[in-house]
Structure 1
Amino acid sequence: MNAQQQKPIIGISIGDLNGIGAELIIKTLNDHRLLELCTPVIFASNKVINFYRKSVPDINFSYQSIKELNRVNFKQINIFNCWEEEVGITPGQLSDVGGKYAIKSLTVAVQALKENKINGLVTAPIHKKNTHSNEFNYTGHTPYLKHIFGVQDVAMLMVAGNFRVGLLSEHIPVSEAAKYVTRENILSKLSIINNSLIKDFGIDKPKVAVLGLNPHAGDEGLIGREEEEIIKPAIKDARHFMLAMGPYSADGFFARRHYDKFDAVLAMYHDQGLIPFKSLAIGEGVNYTAGLPAVRTSPDHGTAFDIAGKNKADHSSFLTAIYECIDIINRRSGYVESHRNPVKKVTPAILANVEDEKIEDTNNE
């Protein structure tokens, strides 16, 4: 962050042009109190914002148009024009145009983030079907950001206040989910989540729960062997550098609110973590990419084509994503060097002997 301006500059990618992204952005930034906390820069074009501004008639949305990031106005909403040409916008329709310009917005914004021209990025939803191509060979934002920043691994971390759920695997077929349950993958995700809880969320000694893959966490090997042969040994190894516990049966864990006892939860596959998270964090969920050198958040929902352009989109999650982006930037800037290595705080000997949180599985089906 430059010395001239203490408020973080938050970049915002437009998402699918035919989805609810632009409407969310207009509704969110209509509250000008956000300008006291950050300087927003929307990566799109004036014409796209003006098109959707007409569908939200009760909002007086003003902005400054810029073509160079060194011309940012810190007292206004800024639109960085990534293209000048006319673009056909058809709200609610899946089209190649909507995907093409969503990726143009994203790639320009991410490059600005990588070059430290913005301090954080909030991404509006894209649709994987019309963005995946030879030029953009990724299943979503997370693998793209991992590639661009050249990091070995990242973790998709869903956040709603003190409720956080990380995923071992993300957008893969359920038939392949078990293949990703390896000691190496579990240790990598746990390390990223642990470091993020310390650095990005200000938690001194994080406690992370690990879910089992199979029903009843395998029932001691009766319903699958992954818990006994892979997950438990990985948790034991992780205890040399962090407080990891489990594996826990996913259904009882969420149904009985045992997640309240932990700073984060590691789920074994997408729906195991996302279904309970979205059910419990209605309107408050944020997707955070842990493990990057930069800060990126997004709302926890998709393009919602069925309500696009109808002034029906709820911007709660998008607003929360901006707040979370600002908060993480501020917590990172206040992070002290003595906290960089959690092993200095909790010794391996203590971690090796830590007992699992006693959580009874009373499901007798």
Structure 2
Amino acid sequence: MKNKENIVVGISVGDLNGISGEIILKTFEDSRILELCTPVIFASIKVMHFFKKHFNSEIEFNSIRDISHLAHGKVNVLNCWKEPVNINFGQEDTKVGEYALKSLQSATKALKEAQIDVLVTAPINKYNIQSEAFTFPGHTDYLAKELGGNSLMFMVTDTLKVGLLTDHVPVKDVSEHISEALITEKINTVYDTLRKDFKIVKPKIAVLGINPHTGDNGVIGNEDDDIMRPTLKKIKEAGKLVYGPYAADSFFGSNNYKNFDAIIASYHDQGLIPFKTLSFGQGVNFTAGLTRVRTSPDHGTAYEIAGKGVADESSFKEALFMGIQIYRNRCDFEELTANPLKKQPRKASIKK
């Protein structure tokens, strides 16, 4: 049985030339967070001292070489490398990409081995991290390979949750990727994560169409009529509260999204543009469907403001809080599943 206390949160440091160091420092300057979790930053003490000096932080780090030496009540830094790193804020650098990968690999290994309970990934540069060891369009696909499960990019706040049928796929290829099997898999993943990770007993899910106006009866494409509608009909007949397909252009503007526990978009921008418009700075990227809990902020490296001390840590902090809450919810779900006659107490949300 998992332990809901002393939750250990691993943090991959991301692109060192971006805003990752700054938002990590700003988050843990609030010492009350150490009452909720034990953080472990996968980087090097030299790099973290560089950030501390540059941003005039007062955080005291506990430098460790092995996860078994972590100290509760402190901000731990697990040294993934010894050598100094040349940091130039705002610059795209393949060498820095190598260190982002070292951090991610070390943190993922710790997550797989249950040495940490939650992984929060700081933003990477998806171009300069590419190598023989990393040939993925982003964190989601890498972690799906390493951790197993039917991964799904799930953008979430307390009041809005948006999943994707396809994520980092070129628009011209979207319809080729969408099939009955994919739609069914992604809906099942969203349904399961809403129950297990967000404690929603009977989830209500909306699905957005593939084409404008969901094809207008074939005038603007046949995919919605030939694939989407028949698949949703089958899933609904099987007992899930799944509705759609809805025309994406009016779905959010009409506030229809407020009637559902989650929305599934057909492709990246169809879902993420309205999500970030409605919740930018408060949203969290949660990888649903994995065997472990991983979250990240809803923004990128922000090179244009890197090193200037003006980055907003809100989304990173939300990712941290949500990762902890999801882990606790999974513990409760496993406990209830193991002992279905036990009545679960209502769990208060983490105060931010």
TM-score (norm 1): 0.90
The match for 2:66 is 68
The match for 2:176 is 179
Root-mean-square deviation over aligned CA pairs? 1.5
SS of alignment partner, residue 335 of structure 1: helix
CA shift digits 1:204-252 (9 cap, x unpaired)? 0001100001111112222211111000111112221421100001111
The match for 2:194 is 197
* Gap change, CA 1:339 and 1:258, over 3 Å in 2: farther
Mapped contact 2:197–2:330 kept (Cα < 8 A): yes
CA shift digits 1:132-191 (9 cap, x unpaired)? 22221111100001101133x211000011200001111121111111121111111000
Mapped contact 1:55–1:310 kept (Cα < 8 A): no
The match for 1:282 is 280
Runs of 4+ in 1 over 4 A off after TM superposition: 336-340
The Cα of 1:54 is off from its aligned counterpart by: 2.2
The Cα of 1:106 is off from its aligned counterpart by: 0.3
The match for 2:331 is 333
Mapped contact 1:213–1:226 kept (Cα < 8 A): yes
The match for 2:79 is 81
The match for 1:47 is 46
Residue ranges of structure 2 left out of the alignment (5+ in a row)? 339-352
Aligned mates of 2:9, 2:231 — CA distance in 1: 37
What is the identity, as a one-letter code, of the residue corresponding to 1:100? E
The Cα of 1:13 is off from its aligned counterpart by: 0.5
The Cα of 1:80 is off from its aligned counterpart by: 0.4
The Cα of 1:337 is off from its aligned counterpart by: 6.5
* Gap change, CA 1:2 and 1:75, over 3 Å in 2: farther
Aligned mates of 2:60, 2:255 — CA distance in 1: 44
Mapped contact 2:193–2:288 kept (Cα < 8 A): yes
Aligned mates of 1:315, 1:329 — CA distance in 2: 21
Aligned mates of 2:175, 2:90 — CA distance in 1: 35
What is the identity, as a one-letter code, of the residue corresponding to 2:213? H
Aligned mates of 1:257, 1:166 — CA distance in 2: 17
Aligned mates of 1:260, 1:274 — CA distance in 2: 16
Percent identity reads 48
CA shift digits 1:273-324 (9 cap, x unpaired)? 0000000002110000000110000000000111111101100000000000
* Pair 1:38-2:40 in alignment: no
The number of equivalent residue pairs is: 337
The match for 1:160 is 157
* Pair 1:236-2:224 in alignment: no
Mapped contact 2:297–2:315 kept (Cα < 8 A): yes
Q: In structure 2, which of residues 293, 296, 299 is the aligned counterpart of residue 295 of structure 1?
A: 293
The Cα of 1:336 is off from its aligned counterpart by: 5.1
Residue ranges of structure 1 left out of the alignment (5+ in a row)? 341-365
The match for 2:17 is 18
Mapped contact 1:15–1:126 kept (Cα < 8 A): yes
The match for 1:356 is none
The match for 2:341 is none
TM-score (norm 2): 0.93
What is the identity, as a one-letter code, of the residue corresponding to 1:261? N
What is the identity, as a one-letter code, of the residue corresponding to 1:231? M
- Mapping of residues 98-247 of structure 1, within 5 Å: 98-151=96-149, 153-239=150-236, 240-247=238-245
Aligned mates of 1:287, 1:10 — CA distance in 2: 16
Aligned mates of 1:20, 1:329 — CA distance in 2: 26
Aligned mates of 2:91, 2:11 — CA distance in 1: 22
What is the identity, as a one-letter code, of the residue corresponding to 2:234? D
